[in-house]
Structure 1
Amino acid sequence: MFAPRSVAVIGASSHQLKIGGRPIHHMKSHGFEGAIYPINPSYTEVQGVQAYPSLEALPEVPDLAVVAVPGPAVMEAVRGCADAGVKAVVLFSAGFAEAGEDGERLQAELTRIALTSGMRIIGPNCIGAANMVTGALPTFAAAVMIPRDHVIADVPRIALVSQSGALGGHCVALAANRGFEFTPWITTGNECDVDVADSIAYFAEQDEVSAIAVYMEGCKDGRRLQAALASARRRRKPVIMLKAGVSDVGAAAASSHTASLVGSDDAYDALFRQYDVCRVTSVSELMDLSHALALGGLPRGGQVAIFTGSGGAGILMADAAEEAGLQVTPLPLGVQQQLKRIWPPAGVTNPIDTTAQVTNDPALFPAFLNTVIDGTDYDMVLVFLTYLGLMEPWATTVVDSLRTVREAHPGAHIMVSSLTSPETAHALNTLGMPHYEDLRSMVETAGRLARLGSVLSVPMAKEFRPLSASSASLTGELTEDRAKKILRDAGVPTVPDRVVQSADHAVRAAKEFGYPVALKIVSPDIAHKSDVGGVRLDLTDAAQVEAAYAQILASAQAAVPQARLSGVLVTPMVTGGVETILGVKNDPSLGMTVAFGLGGVFVEVLQDVTLRLAPFDVATAAEMIREVRGFELLDGARGTEPADTEALAHALSDLSAFAAAHADSIESIDVNPFVVMPRGQGAYALDALISTHTPGPEPTPEPGPPPHAVVTSPQRS
């Protein structure tokens, strides 16, 4: 794909601007050294290159074929390539899965051809791919023709993967405009064969690729995407992810655009967090970070020195730095004294305010920068120069000053915010200093760089493989008592309980457990017991238990007359502790996701939930627990005793292992509440609900929070 020895263009055109003419023109213009074979029975020569009437007429089987023929001829052309032994095909044509049922059938046939022949297919509905280094440009994107004379060579290569052809081409053009380039890059379109996961995995293994930028709407195989991101993480290769389809409208548009499975955005967030992927929310943020990685690489951490000629700008930058997770620590006293000797009116704490004197004294700026870099160990230096890079003579002075600093400190991470002329922008790129018009964009990019530098400096943890997982059968009726037993066997502790068939047996069970107790209806047809009057709490004697037993049965029968009643569950009340919620949802794209949150208002109103993909180890579970905004309630807020978060972490990890082991049958798991007792006293599930893919009686519906939270009203029993 990216280094073919020969490329055939089926449907070649002599017109350089037509779809079938552009790949030939691009490759000729960019010095592709392999053979180019235009195929068009109407011509003997195309754009100065010998043309051939058919694939069979070529002197050799090409490594790569570009299919640029009208829709009705596409399938014949692709089959011909497979039969001839072509290794890969780029398919521009639209009108496949994104266009309805007929298109879906055609795309399924493309997938079958790829699988049976071993030929890889990029597309359909894509603009192709490019390797700007080899000149292999099987694309009709005009963006590759933007002049490259101002593009910086010999810098780290940033690969680009995009499901959208238009956005991919737009990013290629934006990069060229900023003086760097994405290479290699690929647009995957409808992904009948090669998809985003394949592309990320490939680029992760290429030593010449230093980082990967991705635009993605959804994926068809979450496990393969997970494996691809894991591969990049193992090699400490930054992945910048712009994931679309966050809103309901966006998700619907993504599905119709490339027939992607969008899945839950929370699940994608969990995936990205798990593999230290840097998620951005706009094309601008993706470009800002890609530009910085292409020019400056990753810093060691987030300690920054801020240089300005304006006190106001310094305040704004300091505020933005704190929001971005950067540390703006004061300069050492000795360095402050040195700066004061150079220019006494300067502000020298950090931010460092040189005042407007830098426009009068050309030596002041480099003297300040060199003094700070020499005398400190800041990870990055952030410089705000207003519009000086746009106007002479100051633009030249700025560039000369920064060149002096770069020569003295070739490894320093320096970022600049300034309006710039094209000449100044090119000079800053040459110096390896990413530059931004907006100072906040610079600071936010620095924050992302710092986070990536920090997490990628540590080797990836070993993949978690549970030693064993419960092999419990999930067939039959999964009532609360059975669900809790299954989870208990899987390592999730539960409170004891007993299902009884009479009031006398309920009283006997209550005495054995000790008062107070709770009673709940047991029915495979009633998922949410409190909604039908099927729960009674804080029962303190035999009389209350007898009355509650009768009331529960009567209420359930009245509310759901057709429900099958299996009995009444007796369980001891639990006092103290912190209520939490553990949940599992089988995401259509990414598989089993495990949710954790604090109970009550925290999850139902504040949506204070964190997620990971299953399975994960105890250390990852501990990270999840610390991520919720209400963590202080578990950590001993206002003098309360800290909760047993170690027991909670073990339960979360064991739940994840169980969910992963039963991914083929489980739809969701709801453990609510899961009460965490004070440290050393354990944690217990008071209620549990397991839903499987197996069709069964419809439970009573219950309106509630969004599906990703998977919560019910907490019952402390």
Structure 2
Amino acid sequence: MGTLFDRAVAMGVGFTHCVSVGNQADLELCDFVEFLVDDPDTAVICSYIEGIKSPARFRALAARARAAGKPWLVVKAGRTAAGQQAAFSHTASLAGDFAALEAVCRAENVVLLDDVFAMLLLAAAMARHPGHRVRDTVLLSTSGGSAALSADKLAAAQLPMTRFDADTRARLATLFVPGQADNPVDLFGAKVAEVPDFAYQSTRLAMADPRADLCLAVITTAPNLAGMAAEIARAADEAGKPVIHVMQPARLADGARAVLAQAGQPLTDGLGEAVEAVRAWSAWSAWQPAQHGQHGQDGARLAVSLPPGATVLDEAAAKALLALAGIPVNAGVVVADAEAARQAAPAVGFPLALKVVSPDIVHKSEVGGVALNLRSAQEVADALGAMAARIAAGWPRARIEGWFLQRMAGGEVELLVGARRDPQFGPMVVVGSGGVLVELLRDVVLLPAPVSAGAARAALASLKLAPLFAGYRGGAPVDLDAAVDVLVRFGALAAQMGERDFEIEVNPLKLGADGCVAVDARARFGEEPQ
């Protein structure tokens, strides 16, 4: 806290209050946030958090801060959790403590940042421009090389740069040699002899563009740094739009830093801090309140009877539960031996998948407990015999409760969809890239339950595999509405669990052009709370 206070003084940033909460044995984080929400002199709330004692209160205060028009910025320490490797399901190992906090912050528009100094920089900018929304950035620089590197940083953070309209381009063309003001704007591409106050004029015209939300001014070694900084700050103030200054020289720029601090302009020496601040401001600006549909609004509407007591459901039982919740599953039957499989296979329908049913085998493919595309009763019987021998040799202590025959399901995209109860924040839904590479790819998003259709759609769109949904390299587009419906139903089912510990997972959910189907599932339930 002392370091942040010292940095703020150097930046010309003021605090209403600074509080170090210690181990929160008595008064805790939420007590002080509640006070700051009500404090008329506080414009932005900053928190460095190591632990949250009151998760429900945390969420309630986030809503109060939004209602008060006060952005809440957070840096969280301790983003990793031990002991996730031996989890019951992928859902548990992928949906750890920080991931749950991240999901809650995303839902409540609490802004998570990676760096405390970026948090301070953003707080200074947001306090200066309350309620301002940021999407497109104008990049000014005194160096073509620095402009290129800065543009790369913005692109890597998926932050769009302003596309100037025709009027802005025409006005800038009167000040610059061709190609130097298309954004990035290279200030030393201006016709300096003709435009003595080129930094002011360039910034004024660029920020007058209706698409320009924020100016990132990356300043390298140049003549009259203090005068240039003052010109940029004056032009941005006249436009009524924020500018974040990155002052890259060392002692040579101390005069410029003093000018900006005196003017209360957000200032940093690090490009990384500035880009992180812009990313977080853009995320805060893009937030939309959840609009719950009929399933997400009321989990009880699913009318699913949950199993009593602590129990683990095998695939067949887990799928039966999901089917009651309206989640599509592929048809199947559990048989006792090869002869029973031979008899049952034609009724299930070919081609078939065969899977071992054992409480001691969680990841069936890892022990050779899955056979696919079986096209006759004899193939099914032979595959079962070979599978039984393989498991007996490799896993002799595994209890075999039967063999699951199920119809093969098609689909172009494989998703993981799961739900669990987070110890702090309650029921969570996870969605991500599915299949056997789920742990390797770790392409997942968490959502607090219940889940609205809008939140579900946004989560799917944020996945790395999202380009596959529209069809990739000749592939057919998939039925994204079907996946959204599954997420909403998962959220309703998770919300119905209340305080009960649980994990439910589908991997994969196969998504095709005409719907989706859960082809593998598992579930675990703890004791019902008293």
Give your verdict on TM over 0.5. Answer: yes
2:277 pairs with 445, 456, 461, which one? Answer: 445
Residues 1:370 and 1:453: Cα distance change in structure 2 (over 3 Å): same
**CA contact 1:308–1:353 (8 Å) conserved in 2:** yes
1:417 aligns with one of 246, 256, 259: 246
Q: Deviations over 1:376-401 (max 9, x none)?
A: 5522233344356xx9xx36634664
Is the contact between residue 518 and residue 572 of structure 1 (CA under 8 Å) also seen in structure 2? yes
**Partners of 1:399 and 1:424 within 8 A in 2:** yes
Could you give the per-residue CA deviations for residues 602-648 of structure 1, whole angstroms, max 9, x where no partner exists?
A: 52322222222222122212222111111222321112111122111
Alignment of 1:386 with 2:215, yes or no, is: no
Residue in 1 aligned with 2:203? 369
Q: Which of 463, 466, 471 is matched with 2:298 structurally?
A: 466
2:260 is matched with which residue? 428
- The reply on whether 1:599 has 2:434 as its aligned counterpart is yes
What residue is the counterpart of 1:353 in the other structure? 186
1:226 is matched with 59
Going from structure 1 to structure 2, the CA distance change for 1:422 and 1:624 (only over 3 Å counts) comes to same
Deviation at 1:211, TM superposition (A): 1.8
Report the alpha carbon displacement of residue 244 of structure 1 after superposing the two structures with TM. 0.8
Instruction: Give the 5 Å matches for 1:203-282.
Output: 203-247=36-80, 264-282=97-115
Gaps of at least 5 residues in structure 2 are 85-94
CA positional deviation for 1:552: 4.8
The TM-score normalised by the length of structure 2 is 0.83
Which SS does the other structure have where 1:183 is aligned? coil
Report the number of matched residues.
Answer: 508
**Could you tell me whether the CA contact under 8 Å between 2:164 and 2:211 is conserved in 1?**
no
Amino acid of the structure 2 residue aligned with 1:542: A
* 1:223–1:591 CA contact under 8 A, matched in 2: no
Structure possessing the higher relative contact order (Cα contacts under 8 Å, 6 or more residues apart): 2
3-state SS of paired residue (1:689): strand
Residue 89 of structure 2 aligns with which residue? none
* Letter of the 2:77 counterpart: A
| Percent of aligned pairs with the same amino acid | 29
SS of the counterpart of 2:43?
Answer: strand
Structure-2 residue corresponding to 1:142? none
Q: Secondary structure at the match of 1:515?
A: coil
The offset of 1:242, in angstroms, is 0.8
TM-superposed deviation, 1:454: 3.6
**For 2:243 and 2:353, how far apart are their aligned partners in 1?**
64
The answer to whether the 8 Å contact 2:299/2:493 transfers is no
TM-score (normalizing by structure 1): 0.63
- CA apart distance, 1:586: 3.4
Question: Is the 1:263–1:589 contact (alpha carbons within 8 Å) kept by the matching residues of 2?
Answer: no
Distance 2:234 2:145 in 1: 27
Shift in CA distance, 502/239, structure 1 to aligned 2, threshold 3 Å: same
* Separation (CA, whole Å) in 2 of partners of 1:524 and 1:590: 29
Query: Equivalent residue for 1:499?
Result: 334
Write the deviation string for residues 674-703 of structure 1: whole angstroms up to 9, x where unpaired: 21122xx221111211123359xxxxxxxx
- Corresponding residue of 1:327: 160
Q: Is 2:292–2:452's contact at 8 Å kept on the other side of the alignment? A: no
Which residue of structure 1 lines up, in the alignment, with residue 87 of structure 2? none
Distance 1:646 1:296, change over 3 A: same
How far 1:519 moved relative to its partner? 3.0
Which consecutive unaligned segments of at least 5 residues does structure 1 have? 1-167, 252-261, 696-717
Output the CA distance in 2 between the equivalents of 1:599 and 1:656.
18
Residue 522 (structure 2) aligned to one of 667, 680, 689: 689
| Separation in 2, partners of 1:225, 1:551 | 54
How many angstroms apart in 2 are the aligned matches of 1:431 and 1:226?
Answer: 36
Query: Residues 578, 183 of structure 1: CA spacing in aligned structure 2 closer, same or farther, 3 A cutoff?
Result: same
Q: Which moved more, 1:312-321 or 1:416-425?
A: 416-425
Q: Provide, for residues 26-82 of structure 1, a one-character-per-residue CA deviation record: whole Å limited to 9, x for no partner.
A: xxxxxxxxxxxxxxxxxxxxxxxxxxxxxxxxxxxxxxxxxxxxxxxxxxxxxxxxx
- Asked if the contact 1:500/1:567 (under 8 Å) is kept, the reply is yes
1:187 aligns with 2:20: yes
CA distance in structure 1 between the aligned counterparts of 2:334 and 2:353, rounded to whole angstroms: 12
The higher radius of gyration belongs to 1
Report SS of the residue matched to 1:691: strand
* Cα deviation code 1:634-670 (max 9, x no counterpart): 3211121111221112112211222232254444223
What is the deviation of 1:578?
2.4
1:480 aligns with 2:319: no
CA distance in 1, matches of 2:159, 2:171: 25
Choose from 124, 134, 139 the match for 1:301. 134
CA distance in 1, matches of 2:241, 2:350: 69
Equivalent residues of 1:406, 1:431 under 8 A apart:
no
1:115 match: none
Take 1:529 and 1:303, find their aligned partners in 2: how far apart are those partners?
A: 48
> What secondary structure is seen at the aligned counterpart in 2 of 1:290?
helix
CA displacement 1:103-155 (0-9 Å, x = unmatched): xxxxxxxxxxxxxxxxxxxxxxxxxxxxxxxxxxxxxxxxxxxxxxxxxxxxx
SS in 1 for 2:406: strand
